[in-house]
Structure 1
Amino acid sequence: MACGDCCASSSTKSRTNDPRWRRALWIALGVNAAMFAAEIVAGVAGGSKALQADALDFLGDAANYAISLGVAGMALTWRARAALLKGATLAVLGLYVLGAALWAVWHGGVPHAEMMGIVGLVALLANAGVALMLYRFRTGDANMRSVWICSRNDAIGNIAVVLAAAGVFGTGTAWPDLIVAGVMAMLGISGGVQIIVQARRELAPEGRGYAVAAE
């Protein structure tokens, strides 16, 4: 049992040192930073809460990828702590987006459907490529899994933005945009909770070890 646990830990740590993993993170970081800048401008100019929500998700993911690069190759404890931070960030961003969407129900206008659709399609292509690139790392530790969850959520969110653009165009109202923003917010909160739960599980055995040593 003990040997198996050590081997598993060593194997996971070696995966975080994999040059392919680091290269994938650098590419994902660049894509997310560029798409954040593009979507936040388009979201504000087009009055779309869904685009703004997606832009904030890109920003959070860019920060998460940077953290992942910083802890890659470190002990599992540090990677799990980084995952806790990323999970909390994702959940907080989700709560912010949810609040902004609720505020817009009473104070927002009708967004530009054409801009939403074009930017959403570009973002979808970018995120689909990143998600495919990171797919092989989806079963790693909490830190690696958090990167996969972020990429998966982005791709799903982009599809939702495109559908919202079609809905706004067809109905002439902001409801499709606001509904999608709310769904994306809930997806972010759910993903953050998943990351936090797994990270806490990875930290629990060491926590019990410290307690035993203290006794």
Structure 2
Amino acid sequence: MDKKEATTLKWLLAINATMFFVELSVGWFAQSTALMADSLDMFADAAVYGLALYAVGHSARMKLRVAHLSGWIQVVLALGALSEVFRRFVFGSEPVSTLMMSFGLVALIANTICLILISRNKEGGAHMKASWIFSANDVIANLGVILAGFLVALTNSPYPDLVIGLIIGLIVLNGACRILRLES
């Protein structure tokens, strides 16, 4: 079981680390808070999967501690994403909707693969439950990025991007709180 968990977590780590760099670069270029928030979520996920990988083979107590540490990482990154939404609201931005939609779709495919991979192990301990929560939230966030891109194109306004970026930040924060409440 430990080997299966480790293999799954290595794949999740690789996918999320790659997508973090891709979405961060494109989000910055596209001036999209939704893509930036999602890239930070990808970074948090990569860190979480790395920590969960460390917990494989350790005691249930260690797995819970790793899950809680992962939750705190998510809190910090959610607050970072929310501050970026605020910054762009104050200073303005002109998000590029086509980039938002296309890279939101790429991220959705990547996170759907992650969700399928982790679904086989989601009951393996607190570290795997935390990983499941992250992956499920990511799919929701990616759908939000695509929707934001569509609404930006439709309205020719940056506000849908800001609203979706805010919602993604709050989803990440909610996921972090759920993980911090895990007891086993």
TM-score (structure 1 length as normaliser): 0.83
User: Residue in 2 aligned with 1:28?
Assistant: 12
Where structure 1 has 5 or more consecutive residues not aligned to the other structure, the ranges are 1-14, 203-215
Question: 1:20, 1:141 → 2: CA distance?
Answer: 13
Contact 1:40 1:52 in 2 (8 A): yes
Question: Residue 68 in 1 paired to residue 52 in 2?
Answer: yes
| 2:124 match: secondary structure | coil
Contact 1:110 1:172 in 2 (8 A): no
Question: 1:42, 1:100 → 2: CA distance?
Answer: 15
Question: 2:79, 2:121 → 1: CA distance?
Answer: 27
Which residue, out of 104, 109, 113, partners 2:93? 109
Question: Residue 155 in 1 paired to residue 139 in 2?
Answer: yes
Contact 2:60 2:126 in 1 (8 A): no
User: Residue in 1 aligned with 2:31?
Assistant: 47
Deviation at 1:110, TM superposition (A): 1.7
User: Residue in 2 aligned with 1:138?
Assistant: 122
Which residue, out of 169, 172, 196, partners 2:153? 169
Deviation at 1:102, TM superposition (A): 1.7
Deviation at 1:99, TM superposition (A): 1.8
User: Residue in 1 aligned with 2:104?
Assistant: 120
CA offsets, 1:182-212, max 9 Å, x none? Answer: 11111111111111111xx34xxxxxxxxxx
Please tell me the residue identity of whatever aligns with 1:146: A
Question: Residue 178 in 1 paired to residue 162 in 2?
Answer: yes
Question: 2:177, 2:126 → 1: CA distance?
Answer: 12
Give the number of the structure whose alpha-carbon radius of gyration is greater: 1
Deviation at 1:138, TM superposition (A): 2.3
> % of aligned pairs identical?
33
Please tell me the residue identity of whatever aligns with 2:57: G
Question: 2:80, 2:24 → 1: CA distance?
Answer: 15
Runs (4 or more) in structure 1 with deviation over 4 Å come to none
Question: Residue 82 in 1 paired to residue 72 in 2?
Answer: no
Contact 1:95 1:185 in 2 (8 A): yes
Aligned residue pairs total 184
TM-score (structure 2 length as normaliser): 0.96
Contact 2:82 2:165 in 1 (8 A): yes
